[in-house]
Amino acid sequence: NVKMVTKLLLLMFAICRLIVTVGLTVDPAGLLRMGVDGQLSVDPADMEAVSTDFGLLGRTEPMAVLRPASAEDVVRLVRTAFNGFTVSARGHGHSINGQAQTSDGVVVEMSHRSGSKKAAQPQVSVQEMHVDVWGGELWIDVLRSTLEYGLAPKSWTDYLYLSVGGTLSNAGISGQAFNHGPQISNVHELDVVTGKGELLTCSEEQNSDLFHSVLGGLGQFGIITRARISLEPAPQRVRWIRVLYSDFSTFTMDQEYLISLHQKPSNQKFDYVEGFVIVDEGLINNWRSSFFSARNPIKISSISASGGVLYCLEITKNYKELSSDTIDQEVESLLKKLNFIPTSVFTTDLPYLDFLDRVHKAEMKLRSKGLWEVPHPWLNLFVPRSRIADFDKGVFKGILGNKTSGPILIYPMNKNKWDHRSSAVIPDEDVFYLVALLRSALDNSEETQTLEHLTNQNHRILKFCDDAGIKVKQYLPHYATQEEWVDHFGDKWAQFYERKMEFDPGRILATGQRIFKPSF
């Protein structure tokens, strides 16, 4: 049992390091005696796995990693940590800037729950149309479980290998958000372990301050161990359409028209509205989905684009196989109201699961070419509707040049689908756009694809918005100083701060967000 002894020694060593580094007031063997049902590890491989994230922009090694077996394990850890070391929940590590990392504490690997598999399964209530899931559950597994009952969550992210706790700590948005709101608008109840080590159930009615704080709360108030998510009957198939525009204002007018239909009956609106910017021909088949097949090549050069930029509207209509005879008509009558380039309609049809899981296919392809695990200096912005045309001129037709190094998404959302009581921060306009610059940096390539070039470009974009008075808000925000955070939260800061002091007074949670420093 040499392996066991080595592990134990390593664990003791890490704990001593923890104590020396942060000057713990905790009993040296406190962590060891904590007696978790899951697994507390200092195995170099486990530590390495949580030291980086999808962004690959930095590396921070924690003191130890906990794979909890239950919410009680999280409680035990937080109680031991209180006023001594930090605790960072890690969902699937798909942040960009180390938000789930910590150097002076323990990372809780929420999506590697150890122990009973059965207890970890999502629990669907067909009658109540909701599902109870573990906070570290991946959305792909939530979907698979609910589909067994013919049900599905209503609001999505484009990519499903993200954890429930991770997306609910931000907002969780995709093309359904104009209609159903972000994922944080589709949660009934949460179990949360606060920074004081209390396990509390919260909802609109119960512990409502905690409930609203945690949603979009960047992990600052507690660790979500269970979420109750609203469901709807699952469609079986999806009609997926892309159309092109060369004129930005026609494109945004159509997008805004489509999202204004949110109150119409489902046969009179699309179910998903997104879009992307094409500044460079290669990107029509971007990594997020190879939509246009080789047999259906699109000659972008044959379409005259103003300023060399094209815009692609992406829409879908869900349907049940039984209603397949009416789907053509419904789509046709909606398309008639739009003003895209008439020869540019591209349509495909696929099962609901395949549509929702579309980015995973692209991931597999990129992985096989060694292009997935590369640095991702992503920038996500919410841009107020009133300034989106200025953003187009200054950024898409200006700063970006004619190479983008990754997809650029753009789609509008309705503010009234967001609960202002949540911690999420959005622009103060009825309609605002997500602009997502999802770029990959490559070594040994053209200068325009280097990490340095893309990072500089991001700074230029933010400076351009600042100089032009475009009041953007970062989505998945990343700032280095508390002043910037205060500015980001604006009116919400005072409450955000007050609730932090209430639920995590030691400021030990999710320090990787760099909003608060621990009090010890």
Amino acid occupying residue 2: V
CB of 2 to ligand FAD, least distance (A): 33
Q: Which of 22, 78, 89, 279 binds ligand FAD (CB under 6 A)?
A: 89
The residue range among 89-97, 147-155, 257-265, 462-470 that interacts with ligand FAD, by the rule CB under 6 A, is: 89-97
Residue 230 is a binding residue for ligand FAD (CB under 6 A)? no
Identify whether 274 is a catalytic site residue: yes
Amino acid occupying residue 65: V
| Residues linked to residue 432 through DSSP beta bridges, in sequence order | 384, 413
Count of alpha carbons within 13 Å of 473, Cβ hemisphere only?
A: 22
How far, in Å, are 72, 176, 238, 291, 327 from residue 324 at the CA level? 48, 21, 10, 22, 5
CB of 173 to ligand FAD, least distance (A): 4
Q: Are 133 and 229 in contact (CB under 8 A)?
A: yes
Residue 94 is a binding residue for ligand FAD (CB under 6 A)? yes
Q: Which of 67, 76, 92, 113 binds ligand FAD (CB under 6 A)?
A: 92
**Cα separation of 71 and 63, whole Å?**
21
Q: 148: buried, middle or exposed (CB in 10 Å: 19+, 13-18, 0-12)? A: exposed
Q: Which of 86, 174, 207, 449 binds ligand FAD (CB under 6 A)?
A: 174
401, containing H or E segment: none
- When the beta carbons of 98 and 394 are compared against ligand FAD, the nearer one is 98
Residue 169 is a binding residue for ligand FAD (CB under 6 A)? yes
Q: Contact letters (x/-) for ligand FAD, 117-156, by CB under 6 A?
A: ------------------xx--------------------
Q: Which of 41, 70, 95, 286 binds ligand FAD (CB under 6 A)?
A: 95
Q: Which of 39, 146, 163, 458 binds ligand FAD (CB under 6 A)?
A: 163
Picking from 347, 378, 368, the residue whose alpha carbon sits closest to that of residue 455 is: 378
Identify whether 94 is a catalytic site residue: yes
Backbone angles phi, psi at 414, to 5 degrees: -95, 125
Q: Which of 97, 145, 170, 252 binds ligand FAD (CB under 6 A)?
A: 170
CB of 349 to ligand FAD, least distance (A): 22
Count of alpha carbons within 13 Å of 60, Cβ hemisphere only?
A: 22
Site for ligand FAD, residues 29 to 58, rule: CB under 6 A:
53-54
**Cα separation of 42 and 506, whole Å?**
24
The residue range among 273-281, 303-311, 488-496, 509-517 that interacts with ligand FAD, by the rule CB under 6 A, is: 509-517
**Cα separation of 206 and 208, whole Å?**
5
Q: Contact letters (x/-) for ligand FAD, 202-221, by CB under 6 A?
A: ----------------xx--
Identify whether 232 is a catalytic site residue: no
**Cα separation of 217 and 440, whole Å?**
27
Picking from 256, 262, 192, 218, the residue whose alpha carbon sits closest to that of residue 425 is: 218
Count of chain residues binding ligand FAD (CB under 6 A): 37
**Cα separation of 162 and 94, whole Å?**
7
Q: Which of 223, 334, 413, 426 binds ligand FAD (CB under 6 A)?
A: 223
Q: Are 411 and 316 in contact (CB under 8 A)?
A: no
Residue 513 is a binding residue for ligand FAD (CB under 6 A)? yes
Residues designated as active site: 94, 158, 274
**Contact positions vs ligand FAD (CB under 6 A):** 53-54, 88-95, 99-100, 110, 135-136, 157-159, 162-163, 165-167, 169-174, 218-219, 223-224, 476, 510, 512-513
